[in-house]
């Protein structure tokens, strides 16, 4: 499931990068394309970073 999510975010980053190139050519306002590229890269990295996190050891209680 995580690989599919990473693939989708990677595709969104690619589309946002193409829009950003159009923004740099002043065909689309760059004020719209820059935050779009930023948030797509941020979402990709946030998804990629949360893959293998250590959740801690299971601690057994002595007295219950």
pLDDT digits (tens, 9 = 90+) for 2-24: 789 889 999 999 999 999 999 99
Q: Would you state the pLDDT for residue 2? A: 76
Local confidence band at 49 (pLDDT 50, 70, 90 cut-offs): confident
Give the domain extent around 17.
2-49
Q: Does residue 62 lie in a domain region?
A: no
Count of structural domains, the chain = 1
Instruction: Tell me, yes or no, whether 58 lies in a domain.
Output: no
Which pLDDT score, from 0 to 100, does residue 63 have? Answer: 65
pLDDT tens by residue, 52-64: 677 777 777 666 5
Average pLDDT score over residue span 35-56: 86
The backbone region for 56, taken as left when phi is positive above 0, alpha when psi lies in -120 to 50, beta otherwise, is left
Residue 42 resides in a domain:
yes
Chain mean position to CA 52: 15
Has residue 54 been placed in a domain? no
Asked if residue 56 belongs to a domain, the reply is no
């Amino acid at each position: 499931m995580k690989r599919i999510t990473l693939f989708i975010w990677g595709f969104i980053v690619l589309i946002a990068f193409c829009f950003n190139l159009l923004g740099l050519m002043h065909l689309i306002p760059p004020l719209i394309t820059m935050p779009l590229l930023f948030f797509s890269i941020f979402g990709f990295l946030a998804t990629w970073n949360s893959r293998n996190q250590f959740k801690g050891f299971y601690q057994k209680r002595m007295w219950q």
